[in-house]
A and B are shown apart, each in its own frame.
Chain A
C-alpha cells in the first residue's frame, strides 16, 4: 500500500513539474487579413525540426479594414501573446474563447479586450430566441463581422470553433484554462 501511494505521489509530482506542452508540438495561429468576413485563420504546428502541419478555417474580424478604429476595425498586424483561454467564459463574449494581448495600431491607438471566439453560450450551446441576429447564435456569414475580435464559425458538427479549440489542445498538448501567457501565440498579417 505504501509503495502504491509512493508511486502515485511520484506520478503526481512529475505531472506537476512537467511543462504544459511537454507532450505536444510547438503550435501557433496565423490570421491572414483578406476581408472582414472572409479571412483565414491557420493553426500551425511543428511536428519535427523543419516539418510543419497546418489546418485552416474561414474567419472574420472587424467591420472595416481600419485597424485604428476602436470597436469597428479589424485587428492590427503583428505578433500577439495569448493571455488566457476559457471553455465556459460568461459575458457578452461567451463559451470557448482565447484572450489576446493589447496592441497599438499604426497611429498609436490601443486596441484592447480582443479575443478569438464565436457566437455561443457560456455552456457552449446555441441560443437563438429571435428571427434576428442573436449574440449567442451563429446565424450565418454576417456573424463573421466583429468589433475587432477574430471570429470563427459555430455552424456544423464539428464546428470550426470546436476544431480550433480541440486542435489547439491536441496539437500543443497544452490543456491549461484560465489566465496564463503563451508568447507569440498569434501572428496577424495581410493576405
Chain B
C-alpha cells in the first residue's frame, strides 16, 4: 500500500516537476519573444558591468583582442591622435585577414595643460609622427606608411589613407597631406586629391571614396572622389553613416542639428530631419554612427539616437538616454552588431576629473530592453576601440 502511495507520490512529483519546467520554459521563450518583438521605445539605458565577450575584435594599447578573449601583440600602440572619432582607429580588410591600424610616435612629450611656450616648444618643432601599420593573421606586422593616418579598405583590397606632405607633425604648422589609394599593402600610391589640405579618410562607398577636409575652426566638409582627381563636395558637415548598399550617406549639418540622407552618386537629397523639432527633441547629434536595414544609430546629446528611414522620410524612432553623471560625454562610434539592428556596440570615454585620469570602456546595449553591459575600463590614452569592417556592406557603413 505504502509502495503504491509512494509510487503515486513519485509520479505526482514528476508530473509537477515536468509541468513546472514546461511552464518555466514557456515563460522564458514567451519573455524572450515578447522582448524582441516589442517596439523599441525611448527611455533610459540601464548599464551594468559584466561584459565578458564583446561582439567583435577590439584594440587597446599594443594589443589586438579577439572577441573570445585571445590577445595578439601589435608592433606599436594604436592611437587616433590625428583622427579622434572621425575615422576608425583600426579597420579589418574585406577578407578579414588584415587589420590596418593608426599609431602615433611621440617625439617629445606634450603636457596638454601647458602652452607650447611654457614647454619651450618652438615653431616648427617635431612633436610626433602618425603612421599606419598592417597586421596579418599570421602575426606579421608591417609599416604601411610613415606620416599617414585614417585608413579605409575597398572591397578589392585597395586601401585609402592620408599621406602627409611632411611625415612629422610640427608645432605651429598645419598637417596637410594628400588622399592616396594603394592597390594593396604593397604597390604604388595614386593621389586622389590634387591640392594638399588637412584631410581625413572616412569610408569607401563602392568605388567612390568619402573623406573630410578639416577647415578653419575645424569646420568639416564631406567630400567624395569618384575617381583620382575627380573630387566634389557632398556636404558641409560630417557623415553619420553609409547605407548597407553604399549608395546613400546620412550627413549631419555643421550645427549638428539637421540630418540629410544623400545619394552618394549625385548628392541629391532623399530625406531630411531636424532633430531639434523631433519627438523627443534633441540638442544635437554627432558623426560616426552605423546603418543597418532602415535604421541608423548615432551619438546624440541624450546618449544615442536611432533614426528610421522610410520611403522618403526620416524619423527619430528612439532616443536611448545615458546617465550624464555616469557618462558625462556620452558614447562614440556606435555600431549595430546584429542584422535586426537591435544590439548596439560602442565605446565610451570618461574625461579626467578630480585628479582621476580619463578612462574608456566598451558598451554593448540591447535597445529593445534598454540595457547595456560594460567591459573593463582602460586608460583613455590606450584607445580602447572596436575594430571596424569598413568594406563589409552587410554591416552598414562606418
Q: Which positions in A face B, CB cutoff 8 Å?
A: 63-73, 76-81, 83, 91-93, 101-115, 117, 133, 142, 145-149, 181, 183-184
Contact indicator B112/A76 (Cβ below 8 Å): yes
Interface flags for B280-303 (1: CB within 8 Å of A; 0: not) read 000110110000000000000100
* Interface SS of chain B: loop
Q: How many residues of B contact A (CB 8 A)?
A: 53
A103 to B81 Cα, complex, angstroms: 11
Contact indicator B380/A107 (Cβ below 8 Å): yes
A83 to B219 Cα, complex, angstroms: 19
Contact indicator A181/B117 (Cβ below 8 Å): yes
Query: Of A66, A83, A103, A108, which is within 8 A of B329 by CB?
Result: A66
Set of chain A residues within 8 Å of B117, measured between Cβ atoms: 81, 181, 183-184
Query: Of B83, B169, B174, B216, which is within 8 A of A93 by CB?
Result: B216
A82 to B261 Cα, complex, angstroms: 39
Q: Which positions in B face A, CB cutoff 8 Å?
A: 79-86, 104, 110-118, 123, 169, 171-172, 174-175, 198, 214-220, 238, 254-256, 283-284, 286-287, 301, 328-330, 332, 349, 351-352, 358, 360, 380-381, 383
Query: Of B214, B216, B351, which is within 8 A of A67 by CB?
Result: B351
Contact indicator B81/A72 (Cβ below 8 Å): no
> Within the complex, what minimum Cβ distance (angstroms) separates A51 from chain B?
24
Query: Of A103, A110, A146, which is within 8 A of B217 by CB?
Result: A146
Set of chain A residues within 8 Å of B238, measured between Cβ atoms: 71-72
* Interface SS of chain A: loop
Set of chain B residues within 8 Å of A69, measured between Cβ atoms: 84-85, 286, 329, 332
A78 to B117 Cα, complex, angstroms: 12
Contact indicator A81/B104 (Cβ below 8 Å): no
Contact indicator B172/A113 (Cβ below 8 Å): no
Minimal Cβ-Cβ distance residue in B for A94? B216
Contact indicator A113/B79 (Cβ below 8 Å): no
Set of chain B residues within 8 Å of A80, measured between Cβ atoms: 115
A191 to B207 Cα, complex, angstroms: 48
A146 to B283 Cα, complex, angstroms: 13
Query: Of A78, A102, A111, which is within 8 A of B114 by CB?
Result: A78
Contact indicator A104/B81 (Cβ below 8 Å): yes
Set of chain A residues within 8 Å of B218, measured between Cβ atoms: 70-71, 111-114, 147-149
Contact indicator A78/B287 (Cβ below 8 Å): no
A183 to B349 Cα, complex, angstroms: 31
A97 to B113 Cα, complex, angstroms: 23
